[in-house]
Structure 1
């Protein structure tokens, strides 16, 4: 299949290939590519004329409305005023009618003079100047060859552009980040120069030549540095535009990026060297010698041929052109894999995440956390190790938190970090649904984006609903029953929660209006749409035939309204007993219909008793469960003698349970299933095992072999099962009786099963470095239970059960 050609709209034209500064971080002269040595110093008239002709032809053939040309170097001012005038005149004259020229020059400013400014005013060239901050910051790298500071000359150049007669030429400043510089001082120094825009650029680096990372500055120092600038920038009222920050804001809202280093928009840029050769982006000069070369030139090749070059195509292929790690990342549509050049590794080419992967994720997360949203605070993704062989901690989790999770536990703060990452994933998946469904002008989406700024807590409450993500996953997975209507339902629910008076058109499904997290309203029509208007005192639903139904926030509700019932548990913890949302049917067992009052009361009592028992006997598990379990979905009962429970991989925060006969069994099921919920969230952040492993593994508690993730999930869940029965054994210490004997038998069985499974995982050869860390943590969790003495009858019973390969009665779950 022939790739559809994407026209080139941005051209970097090298008008001079040498420089009057000797910046030690310059990618042109100091990095891998050395092609500059063999090129003419100045671009010739013939090259300029032919380049202008090629650009004009390309613009006419593709109906381009605007073309951007950046005059570059080396130092472009060394080309002299007449050469720059010639370039401006050639490019402008060659463009077809209706195509505008956005002409700019990027300079170090040393040679900028009133004469140059007069020329640029005449031929309409805007000026961007490279400056890394105050004198100390700038002189760290930007010096003359003899070591002299360039700072005074650059300030003089900026001063010229700030004059009233030249202010319209002032395009902005380009600042290369150095984490040894004070970020606040850099921001303030640049802000003093009143720029219209500032580009903060990561220094070019690859996996072969990684950026410096001072040990004392943490794992992601570039993110830390940029977030410090971001905070100062926000506090100052955003005194200038910042393409990086603005691009993060835009991509978090599903819009296009403003820079090639973020987002998934195809790159539409080519470089013209002084000898007339076409090259790919200059940043590739940092990868290896000759990396930007195309073998094409302005004399013998059209720009259509350049656009079809495999290297150009690789930078235009969006999500498909990213590594598997990047494609699995929940915030890939914001990060976009980072700058193409920064992905280079000698043994894998560019099929890698960015060498700044952790920094980019942390930056996106931090901006979202500060209100950039979506994808929400703490958003994380697969993160590549800073050094080969060194396991990376996912962004948003600290080392102690990761160790808590590896050991099977996870306190409130740790699980809240997982909650934030899952909210981020839901946001990213909804953006993907929008993109895949072509909803560029969806009223529901536009309202969601508006509420994200105006009422973020209302939106978070809805997007944090477990079954919002479950629907998005179905939709993206091609489920024919997953229509687009739930997007309007989510928008309406958020609008009702915001109470601003917004009106949303929502489709009726099976005779009901569904508002996620709020409830269900039966309406007369089986299909069609209703209008939902939220207000502080409740909301109103208007049907197609003009009927209006008002649902009050307080007081007597319309009998057709079935709200989500919430059960208040000890310590102020509230859990939704979800029996209205059609997306709740995401588990491995049929869901119950709307509960009657008697069953509701039975659930209320059982949950209160079960969670009190967990607080008492399993505090290491209960704290995280309180922080992360938001929803219990009643399931239909299983066969006699079998308790039924499940955790849906795409519904973080929810468990499905058929109410068991006793509260202790409910406590066991809650602890068991929430282990699956936690581990699923971790697996959304990092690979704990080789996904290419398709072998089946023996799970001690099942008669059938399991895929590797199934074995991992079951082992992790049974840490809580073992702890539950261990706590019961302690409670029966020294006591006789049938209940005590049952607890001892179960404890003997499950500690043996779990210990055996941990060793099977550890010896599989499929664990990543972080997976091995989890195996070590699980082994440390179960080891003390193996040392608890038990009666011989309990051990004998466990051995018989293991030989029979069937768990004894009283245990269940998805493991």
Structure 2
């Protein structure tokens, strides 16, 4: 076993090898590979235990934090209630405390009953249903062996899931261009899916798909995309979102699009490892590895020649694909679709379709805003929002950061831009993780606005503060980069004009070298580059600080990702805080972190770091236990905690910076419960700031000031909206706290709950009464008010 391993993160576990339908487009039963005939009907629990042990071994060795296991078939419900419960329990038992396990099941739905739904809800299993559209579309292929329709049973299954939204995973539709695309879309939309995935029929050059015109599949999908886009993108569609992400340089959400190496492995009912199931349409034995869970590890599978071949990225594509202008989005299409006459060294059999589809969606993406479905925006408006909702905000932030960095090109030192683009080409994920550090955007905005008051670590225009009950809750939210931001191109244009208006030279742009150096270190590259020194330290975002330096720059030498420091210099890696499998950066060194209303603390000594670690660990446990509805969003969006200078006695201070998405700042409070409150409260500002980057919720020409019940001075409309939204979490904190404390603490919790509920509810009325909200703003504030109004004033309810 040799070479760098791409660890597996997706596991398809075949729990039953037979099916109760006879779909004529099924890749398992209707194509070249017929290995299902020799497989056990159901997987044994002995094999499941070994599978779980192999996965645990693999994720521990490679420090994989999140994995997805899909229970599949055949038809997985044929395994029965007890067997599926045992499988789920075995997997969770083996992986608990090692990684976060996301369990899914993909089913035709005809056997889904209330008992299955109860089982899946109890064991947190997301359910996906295969459905090809309306009755006519579905019955074209998805029938019983007798020819009887399965449609009514499937619709009943979907209705059961709609009544149990916590397990409703979405709909999977296989495309048939003989079906009316709009009728299919409307039929699926009517079922209220949380997401839809459209699947191109599994085909090869040897067995091509039905094709009434050269781009029939692109035309079919474009018709749906245009309608979906006009509808306001009411739910995520994975194929469209994958293309939108990849044309902007992001990672794909689907194995059928993009250049990311495959991280999926299939485990059949006999415990054998296989490659992706779709290979069954190419030739008999195509997915087989010859390995099994008893004799081979997952690392063995990861270095199998067949696995390696599918993970070669751009190098593994045909010459035609490598020359194609859309290859970084298309990725050559699904590996299976490239097969012809014993070879995969070909373009996809859907090549013309993919080119047209990617071009159409790419142009639409350039012209349109990042889309957030109404369902996600409504979820955020309630004051909550899960990991998927925060990921949508993070996607928009990713594009905005790239636009800002692109606008800095005229300020980049000689050679730095070339290094940046090289890293973007060969180590894009690593570069993105560095650019995602919250204060990289703060620095970029500072360069483009030219409004810093003092040096590289000076402050942007501070937002006003408020400290009723020790909380800093008002945001002024200044800055032209934010206003009306929805188009990436528009953001770049505003940023570019900022360069011209500020009349800046290359001085502030020099810090881009530090960003590039950080990415080079993380990518394991060699590098020799002058970087910026501030107060005797060269800071590399997300990596660490080289201290004990003279002057305002130093030539940094990196060899294979390791910094070669001169004598007298000290390397200090970035500090982190951890609780269980969740960690954040403890940012006490970034020279651009001082962008908060309250001054940032200096470098912390080890005793203070230990105090932060103890408090954070307990605070996060408290959030997960007592406020679990906030935990997924925080996991998805909170990356950094910045220590602030200690507050005066009797006060707790916290803050966010408008352009530092993902960062919350606070002075270390007396107890972990207060830290949990500060984190929950301030992350509300982070979320709403990201929403402001996408949408106009109010008339920005409104200059009136409004009364906020929690402070004496009147507030601008945005400040009132920010404070109101943040105090939903404050209200909820005390509402829930009443159930976990007694005595004087209970009395305090009840008093704080009633006070903040009243204040925040009154503020929503002021917002609506301003008549300055947009239609979307009225909807957003309406959802905020619904949340508050749903919480009763009775004690402990």
CA shift, 1:362, in A, is: 6.3
Match for residue 742 of structure 1 among 718, 737, 748? 748
1:618 matched to which residue of 2? 627
Correspondence for 2:648: 639
Between the aligned partners of 1:689 and 1:238, the Cα distance in structure 2 is 50
Most deviating of 759-768 and 583-592: 759-768
Q: Is the 8 A contact 2:576 2:586 kept in 1?
A: yes
2:523 corresponding residue in structure 1: 498
Quickly say closer, same or farther: Cα 1:789–1:523, change in 2 above 3 A: closer
Q: 1:473 aligns with which of 445, 450, 463?
A: 445
Residue 442 of structure 1 pairs with residue 414 of structure 2: yes
- Is the contact made by 1:512 and 1:526 (CA closer than 8 Å) also made in structure 2? no
Deviations 1:452-486 (A, max 9, x none): 11111221121010000010011111136352221
Higher relative contact order (CA 8 A, sep 6+): 2
The structure-2 alpha-carbon separation of the partners of 1:233 and 1:607, relative to structure 1 and needing over 3 Å to count, comes to closer
**Following superposition of structure 1 onto structure 2, how do residues 526-541 of structure 1 map, counting pairs within 5 Å?**
526-536=551-561, 538-541=562-565
Structure 1 residues 540, 365: CA separation in 2 closer, same or farther (over 3 Å shift)?
farther
**Match of 1:655?**
664
* Inter-CA distance 402–224: structure 2 relative to 1 (3 Å threshold): same
1:650 is paired with a residue whose SS is coil
Of structures 1 and 2, the larger Rg is shown by 1
Once the two structures are superposed, what CA deviation does each residue of 1:78-119 show, in whole Å capped at 9, x if it has no partner?
Answer: xxxxxxxxxxxxxxxxxxxxxxxxxxxxxxxxxxxxxxxxxx
Asked if the contact 1:492–1:532 (Cα under 8 Å) also holds between the matched residues in 2, the reply is: no
The residue number in structure 2 matching 1:415 is: 390
Q: Against the structure 1 CA distance between its residues 364 and 617, is the aligned structure 2 distance closer, same or farther, given a 3 Å change threshold?
A: farther
* Cα shift at 1:410: 0.9
1:755 maps to 2:779: no
Equivalent residues of 1:248, 1:364 under 8 A apart: no
Residue in structure 1 matching 2:615, options 603, 606, 609: 606
The TM-score, its normalising length taken from structure 1, stands at 0.49
d(CA) in 1 for partners of 2:556, 2:760? 53
- Going from structure 1 to structure 2, the CA distance change for 1:622 and 1:224 (only over 3 Å counts) comes to closer
Aligned residues: 447
Instruction: Mark the runs of 5 or more structure 1 residues left unpaired by the alignment.
Output: 1-177, 193-197, 203-209, 250-358, 367-379, 384-393, 542-547, 550-557, 792-815
What is the CA–CA distance in structure 1 between the aligned matches of 2:735 and 2:258, rounded to whole Å? 54
Let me know the Cα RMSD of the aligned residues. Answer: 4.2
Distance in structure 2 (CA, Å) of the matches to 1:645 and 1:769: 32
Please list the CA deviations of residues 362-419 of structure 1 after superposition, one character each: whole Å capped at 9, or x if unmatched: 63798xxxxxxxxxxxxx99x5xxxxxxxxxx63433322221011101112112222
**Structure 1 residue 447: deviation in Å?**
0.9
Q: Secondary structure at the match of 1:582?
A: coil
Distance (Å, rounded) in 1 between the aligned partners of 2:199 and 2:735? 52
Q: State the distance in 2 between where 1:785 and 1:568 align.
A: 33
Is residue 461 of structure 1 aligned with residue 433 of structure 2?
yes
Could you tell me how far apart the structure 2 residues matched to 1:403 and 1:576 are?
A: 30
Distance 1:363 1:559, change over 3 A: same
**Inter-CA distance 782–655: structure 2 relative to 1 (3 Å threshold):** same
Instruction: Return the match for 1:398 from 373, 397, 400.
Output: 373
State the 1:443 CA deviation.
1.4
Q: 1:442 to 1:524 in 2, by over 3 A?
A: closer
- The answer to whether the 8 A contact 1:220-1:362 is kept is no
Aligned partner of 1:172 in structure 2 is none
Shift of 1:616: 1.6
Aligned to 1:725: 734
Partner in structure 2 of residue 486 of structure 1: 511
Decide whether the 8 Å contact of 1:179 with 1:225 is kept in 2.
no
Change over 3 Å in CA distance of 1:784–1:456 after alignment to 2: same
Paired with 2:318 and 2:232, the residues of 1 have a C-alpha distance of 28
Please tell me whether the aligned partners of residues 751 and 786 of structure 1 are also in contact (alpha carbons under 8 angstroms): no
Distance in 2 of aligned mates of 1:365 and 1:419 = 20
Pick aligned residue for 2:572 from 559, 562, 565:
562
Q: How does 1:500-519 map to 2 (within 5 A)?
A: 500-519=525-544
TM-superposition CA deviations, 1:605-626 (whole Å, max 9, x none): 0001111111122112222112
Distance 1:651 1:361 in 2: 33
* Native 8 Å contact 1:697 1:707 kept in 2: yes
Distance 1:629 1:777 in 2: 23
Label 1:237 to 1:745 Cα distance change in 2 as closer, same or farther (>3 A): farther
Equivalent residues in 2 for 1:131-142, closer than 5 Å: none
Q: What is the deviation of 1:213?
A: 4.1
CA–CA distance in structure 1, aligned partners of residues 747 and 242 of structure 2: 60
